[in-house]
């Protein structure tokens, strides 16, 4: 039980530092996490562990793909959830994802209220939905750059992992 908690904390903490300093979570880090997670699961559960790893790793990719497709969530965030899921399992990573989105929503709301651009962001969202329906095309939602509304989602992921480490779920 200690390895999954330590693994999740270390993995997400390094991912936050990468994301804040480089603007992305590097693939080599994700590959290290996947490899370590697979080895751990094989040592703990043998071939059943491989199945546990695969289910936990593939679950976030399957669930979060639509958000990636609409450019609402970056691939690094999904791969981080995937690496965490390989060790935490489907149930825990599903809860972690839900809590991370809740933390991200609260963080975004605080930022929007603090900077006073809540109405303009709400208008941007409704315009995006309207234009997507009207054009019947998938357009990127994310606006590139370092706008205040573009949060680094690895931070809410870390918040969700800290709650996991604290025994909330």
pLDDT of residue 119: 81
pLDDT of residue 148: 55
The 8-class DSSP code of residue 136 comes to T
Average pLDDT in the chain: 90
Alpha-carbon gap, residue 62 to 82, rounded angstroms = 10
Alpha-carbon gap, residue 153 to 144, rounded angstroms = 14
Burial class (CB in 10 A: 0-12, 13-18, 19+), 1: exposed
* Dihedrals phi, psi of 81, to nearest 5 degrees: -60, -40
How confident is the model over 30-85, as pLDDT tens digits? 999 999 999 999 999 999 999 999 999 999 999 999 999 877 888 999 999 999 99
Alpha-carbon gap, residue 124 to 126, rounded angstroms = 6
**Residue 23 above 80 pLDDT?**
yes
pLDDT of residue 70: 79
**Residue 146 above 60 pLDDT?**
no
pLDDT of residue 86: 97
DSSP SS3 for 87: helix
Tokens of 88: 């935490």
pLDDT of residue 157: 97
User: Between 111 and 63, where is the model more confident?
Assistant: 63
**Residue 131 above 60 pLDDT?**
yes
- Number of neighbouring beta carbons within 10 Å of residue 150: 14
**Residue 24 above 80 pLDDT?**
yes
């Amino acid at each position: 039980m200690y390895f999954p908690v330590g693994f999740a904390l270390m993995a997400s903490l390094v991912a936050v530092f990468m994301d804040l300093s480089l603007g992305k979570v590097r693939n080599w880090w994700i590959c290290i996490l996947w490899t370590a997670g697979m080895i751990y699961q094989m040592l703990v559960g043998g071939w059943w562990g491989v199945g546990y790893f695969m289910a936990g790793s593939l679950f976030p990719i399957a669930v979060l793909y639509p958000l990636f497709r609409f450019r609402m969530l970056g691939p690094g965030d999904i791969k981080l959830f995937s690496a965490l899921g390989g060790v935490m399992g489907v149930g825990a990573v599903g809860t972690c994802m839900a809590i991370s989105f809740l933390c991200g929503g609260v963080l975004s709301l605080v930022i929007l209220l603090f900077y006073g651009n809540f109405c303009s962001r709400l208008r941007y969202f409704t315009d995006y939905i309207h234009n997507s329906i009207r054009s019947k095309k998938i357009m990127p939602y994310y606006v590139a750059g370092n706008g205040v509304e573009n949060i680094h989602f690895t931070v809410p992921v870390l918040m969700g992992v800290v709650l996991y480490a604290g025994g909330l779920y």
